[in-house]
Amino acid sequence: ETGVTQSPTHLIKTRGQQVTLRCSSQSGHNTVSWYQQALGQGPQFIFQYYREEENGRGNFPPRFSGLQFPNYSSELNVNALELDDSALYLCASTWGTGLTYEQYFGPGTRLTVT
């Protein structure tokens, strides 16, 4: 196991609603990243947080936002849900940089928007 947990496992929401997904990463892993994996595709980077501040974002609109807390937990918030937001959302924590770089993924949250 990677030591990264996510909740809930599955979630069904209606278009236009808001959702919060949660992640708990390993102690000492200061960077947390979120990815969206649509069906049949590779994971796409949403953003990353380092020491509780966003310091990198992929091609996702501002309605995707996040928080990172001092206890190594984090949240992904998505407002005004759209049908295309249906996907597996993966949280990953990163340890080290350069040669020691390791990224560990949680099991994901499957979001279905109807």
62: tokens are 């501002």
Q: How far is the CB of 64 from other proteins (least distance, A)?
A: 15
Q: How far is the CB of 16 from other proteins (least distance, A)?
A: 27
What residues make contact with other proteins under the rule CB under 8 A? 2, 4, 6, 30-33, 40-45, 48-50, 55-56, 58, 90, 92, 94, 96-99, 101-108, 110
Which residue number, 19 or 92, has a Cβ lying nearer to other proteins? 92
Which of 20, 12, 18 has its CA nearest to residue 73? 20
Tokens of 85: 């937001």
Nearer to other proteins by C-beta: 16 or 52? 52
Residue 31 C-beta: closest distance to other proteins, Å: 4
The CB-of-80 to other proteins minimum distance in angstroms stands at 25
Amino acid letter, 65:
S
Helix, strand, coil percent values for the chain (each to nearest 5)? 5, 55, 40
Is 32 in contact with 25 (CB distance < 8 Å)? yes
